[in-house]
Structure 1
Amino acid sequence: MLVFVDTEFTDFIQIDLIAIGLVAEDGREFYAERNDYRREDCSDFVRAYVLPLLGQVKGASCSVQELTLRLHGWLESLRQPVTLVFDYASDWDLLADALQAEDGQPLPSNLGEKWLLTPEVIGDPVFRQAMTETYSANWPPHHALADARALRSGYLSWKSAVPSQAGLRAS
């Protein structure tokens, strides 16, 4: 099963996870926001465009330790091998860190391949249009769940238009 991943984080230098969204190919969703990141580490961009979008999903706020438990539970509930799909390599790094927390917990056993979408896929007009049409006033870009939904929509539209998987790169 494909699972599309997006993260929001503090900045590119002092990188720390703020929020994460995962959307399965079949539409099941996971979303969480950390309540223990350091706001002072956020870039001006994150302060202006990401932080105002937090708090929309009831019950999403949690500590990094709780996030680890929630992520494991959700991924394991899929009960089949999972291929992670993302458009930015650090999304995988942040997810892996969240899955392992501070105690080095092993990754869920059903995690399989990791696909990083290539610029050719991301830039394809079919992919871009499907992504754009997924966003709304309530679910704009730079919200991790909205971005994961848009990534899913873009990929599924692209795949039906271009059936080969030439635009994927195992990470």
Structure 2
Amino acid sequence: MRYWFDTEFIEDGKTIDLLSIGIVAEDGRELYLENLSADVSRASDWVRENVIAHLDMVKHGVAHEEIGPKVLAFVGADKPEIWAYYADYDWVAMCQLFGTMMDLPKGWPMYCRDVKQLCDAVGNPKLPEQGTQEHNAIEDARWTRQAWEFLAPLAVHREATGALK
């Protein structure tokens, strides 16, 4: 099954401190969690204004050590196909929920797929506008799915015609 996800985080070039994670499943289910254990004192002004100000820890907050098991329960371990947009830091944040890369759940790939790379491969068309709150992990995950749904038929067509980069 396919999953699209996004994270919001605090990073300083050495560490990534997860603030929130949103995941949308191909079957329509959604998971959204906020990290009660995040050290928000380390956040930049931009992260405070654009991410932290919109969090609702009372409604969505869970302890950091609970996030990985909740993500695994949601996604399962049956070879998920995991997508993100500009995925690098998001994937590291996701993997760190389980420890090291070697600690990923059995059946999970050691990589995720990147919607931005798919976009580039089909000629970099203008993606659908995100009409919702940006820098909210669940809203961004929903948009990532929407962008993938826009791009996937283009990729199939280009592959069929031999034009896929």
- TM-score by structure 1 length? 0.78
Contact 2:34/2:57 (<8 A) preserved: no
Q: 2:75 and 2:52 mapped to 1: Cα distance?
A: 26
String of CA shifts for 1:57-97, please: whole Å, max 9, x gaps: 83x21111111221121122xx6320111122011100000
How far has the Cα of 1:119 moved from its partner? 4.8
CA distance in 2, matches of 1:154, 1:38: 32
The answer as to whether partners of 1:10 and 1:18 remain within 8 angstroms in 2 is yes
Matched residue, 1:159: 152
2:102 pairs with 1:109: no
What RMSD, in angstroms, separates the aligned Cα atoms of the two structures?
A: 2.6
The residue identity in structure 2 corresponding to 1:117 is: V
How far does the alpha carbon of each residue in 1:91-145 deviate from its partner, in whole angstroms, 9 at most, with x for none?
A: 11000001338xx9932223235212345606421xx21xx25x33xxx010000
Which is higher, the Rg of structure 1 or of structure 2? 2
Q: How far apart, in 2, do the equivalents of 1:26 and 1:154 lie?
A: 17
1:90 aligned residue: 89
Partner of 1:51: 52
- Separation in 1, partners of 2:46, 2:142: 22
Gaps of 5+ in 2: none
- Count of residue correspondences: 154
Residue 26 (structure 2) aligns with: 25
Q: Which residue of 1 aligns with 2:99?
A: 100
Q: Distance in 2 between matches of 1:149 and 1:12?
A: 27
Taking the aligned partners of 1:118 and 1:154, their CA distance within structure 2 comes to 9
| Separation (CA, whole Å) in 2 of partners of 1:35 and 1:161 | 40
1:11 and 2:41 aligned: no
Q: Distance in 2 between the 1:162 and 1:71 partners?
A: 29
Q: 1:45 to 1:52 in 2, by over 3 A?
A: same
Identity of aligned residues (%): 25
Alpha-carbon separation, structure 2, partners of 1:92 and 1:15:
11
Cα contact 2:7–2:90 (8 A) shared by 1: yes
Name the amino acid aligned to 2:67.
L
